[in-house]
Chain A
Amino acid sequence: PALPQGWSAEKDFKVLSALSSATQRNVEPVGPHFLAHARRLRHNRTFSEDDRI
């Protein structure tokens, strides 16, 4: 991925659009990765906060 000529933006990045809307689905409450997810959600932590603990 090379930079095309004449491309410029403030601080070298630009945001063009937001993500498309998500769909609501049910995850299976099973397995270690889900339990980690549930723990994060219940304590309102982000990934990096969770890693530190």
Chain B
Amino acid sequence: MSEETAAGERFAIGIAFGNSSSSIAFTNPDGKAEVIANEEGDRQIPTILSYVDKEEFHGTQAKAQLIRNSKNTVAYFRDYLGKDFKSIDPTPSHQSAHPQQSDSTVTFSIHDTSNETPSTVSVSEITTRHLRRLKQSASDFLGKTVNAAVITVPTNFADSQREALVAAAKDADIEVLQLIHEPAAALVAYDARPEADVKDKLVVVADLGGIRSDVAVVASRGGIYTILATVHDYELGGANLDQVVMDYFAKEFIKKHKVDPREDVRGLAKLKAECEATKKALSIGTNATLSIESLTNGIDYGSNINRTRYELLAAKVFAQFTSLIESAVKKAELDTLDIDEVILAGGTSHTPKIARLVEGIFPETTQVFAPSTLPSAINPSELAARGAAYQASLIQEFDAEDIEQSIHPMVTVTPHLSNAIGVQLVSADASAADAVFRPLVNANTALPARRVAQYLAPKDGGDVLVRITEGTREIKVTKPEPKAKKEVDEDEEDSDIDSDEDEEEEDIREIVWKATKTIAEVAVKGVKAGGKVEVTININSDLGAQITAREVGGKGGVRLAVESQPNGSA
């Protein structure tokens, strides 16, 4: 059994609390986050509680009760927490205990005691019981009582929901160190890997869940994340794919036996449970079987489906996922060419076809992190829990007051650069308009920021001019043939070198940087032949900047300061 954690000491884990499933993770002494399996061996623990003769079942065991004991089984309750009864959508709970109104909160009427009359249990209480079980599983595994946690929440979780979650966790004797957003947790999970290199990039985090999907576009600048746009779809998730499989098998069953198993409550529950398992099998193998004992009217049913057919039937749902991702990029006022990485999170991201379709909407240079497109990808179901565990390990030493102060809006609301700042490479005889612009500090970088880069000086050395400018990126569409109709994404950073002219009748879309405003000019004199010039730029939060330019290996260099005042010194 677990040993008691000493008073005043914290022992924290990461909890990913989802509507369909939850995970728990901890950070091992080497600093690597690991997901904990509960006593049943599940790492994705269904967020379900069920009561049979006053005994409480949790996770997979409770999920099995959806068939025989649906009225005393509570599922999909995360999004009800801290909400008004009128504002919830109870659709997902139709096949389990129904949410009911009691004052302003949401309750469930379930037989959780040996009494004849059902008791009314609030959703907060249900959450507390669920978190208590998760805590118990983690404590049993780690051999030490867990008393603190970092919990992940969706980006659009309202303050009332956050408060309700913290209160419910407190009732389960869990101190919530911090609530972090799911996309940020996924990013941290990837950036915490030892092989990850933290650089400036634009990332799309697509969290494809069981009954909802959330996509966030995040600017990652020097390891600091800024969410640029989010979109949510509460009717899109793995459940839609389950429905596709269910409809397919139900139709087959009707053909054979002239009964629709979906019209029978228990038959529907059985079919749903099995079809979900079949869908999961199709993410791993190319063929999956389904067999249900006594599906309806006492008829046993067995059949199989291959991946090609499944992908054909689910094509419509897959397209909804990709258009959700595209709409998020659009909402951030970006182009798919701007995106450097796509992180697929959530259980539905295991589907190979979704990862391939997502790859298709982005240029080839964009990396898609999913098990089927990148072998080194982290299990998408575990991302949120790992990120939370990592964050928990970072802050568990801090005082509560310290954490509070650090996550205060005073700290999190930060000025961000509106335009990229870069260095223009000017050759002696070219006019300024021809100069190539290289971004050094990207747009949407949180201030203060510091960047250093080295540039090759002209071959024969001599004096060098470094021109610091602001720049914007534009999408240039080149039409090689006048009758071009189709659009194709081609990403070429260097606009002048590469050209795919041989691809006829297709527009070539590429990113072009345009210098808009010169900030400063610096001369570095007497650079040796073949030498490099190093440019350091420091931007303060008041938009003042210090720029240093020097020859690599040389001494001194030129320093200058740009005033924060608009229309400052010239």
Contact = CB atoms under 8 A, between A and B. Distances in A.
A1 B465 contact: yes
A27 B225 contact: yes
Contacts of A22: 415-418, 447, 543
A28 B512 CA distance: 29
Interface string A6-48: 0101011111111111111111111111110111011000110
A26 B566 contact: no
B521 interface: yes
Contacts of A16: 518-521, 570
A13 B226 contact: no
Contacts of A3: 428, 462-465, 523, 525
B520 A1 contact: no
Contacts of A33: 198, 222-224
B532 to A, nearest CB: 11
B526 to A, nearest CB: 10
B466 interface: yes
Contacts of A9: 521, 523
Given A1-B533, A3-B465, A37-B446, A17 B517 contact: yes
A53 interface: no
B167 interface: no
Nearest to A46: B448
Nearest to A42: B405
Contact of B558 (A12, A25, A38, A42): A12
A41 to B, nearest CB: 6
B339 to A, nearest CB: 18
A19 B545 contact: yes
B191 A31 contact: yes
Contact of B444 (A2, A4, A5, A25): A25
A47 B146 CA distance: 36
B412 A13 contact: no
Given A2-B464, A3-B428, A35-B406, A13 B225 contact: no
Given A2-B462, A32-B394, A47-B538, A19 B416 contact: no
A37 B411 CA distance: 9
A4 B543 contact: no
A12 B198 CA distance: 34
Interface centre among B198, B412, B543 (most CB of A within 10 A): B412
B563 A20 contact: no
Given A7-B465, A26-B413, A30-B180, A15 B225 contact: no
B457 interface: yes
Interface residues of B, number: 85
B562 interface: yes
B168 interface: no
Interface string B398-442: 000000011101111111111101011111100000000000000
A18 B538 CA distance: 14
A32 to B, nearest CB: 6
A10 B94 CA distance: 76
B133 interface: no
B538 A26 contact: no
B465 A2 contact: yes
Interface in B535-569: 538-539, 543, 545, 547, 558, 560-569
A5 B224 CA distance: 42
Contacts of A13: 520-523, 547, 558, 560
Residue picked from B184, B185, B457, most chain A C-beta under 10 Å: B184
Contacts of A17: 517-519, 567-568, 570
Contact of A28 (B180, B192, B423): B180
B414 A27 contact: yes
B290 interface: no
B430 to A, nearest CB: 9
A21 B539 CA distance: 12
Which residue, of A3, A12, A21, A28, has the highest number of chain B Cβ atoms within 10 A? A28
A2 B427 contact: yes
Nearest to A39: B406
B477 interface: no
A46 B540 CA distance: 9
B391 interface: yes
Nearest to B549: A13
Nearest to B219: A25
> Which one of A5, A13, A21 has the greatest number of beta carbons of chain B within 10 Å?
A13
B543 A28 contact: no
B268 to A, nearest CB: 41
Contacts of B563: 15, 18
Contacts of A23: 415-416, 418, 444
B417 to A, nearest CB: 6
18 contacts: A1-B464, A7-B465, A7-B521, A12-B525, A13-B520, A14-B570, A16-B570, A17-B517, A17-B568, A18-B564, A18-B567, A19-B421, A19-B519, A23-B415, A24-B416, A28-B181, A30-B185, A38-B411
Given A15-B568, A31-B184, A31-B391, 10 more contacts: A2-B426, A2-B464, A3-B525, A15-B560, A18-B566, A22-B418, A26-B412, A27-B414, A27-B446, A33-B223
The 5 closest A-B pairs by CB, nearest first: A33-B223, A3-B463, A22-B415, A28-B184, A38-B406
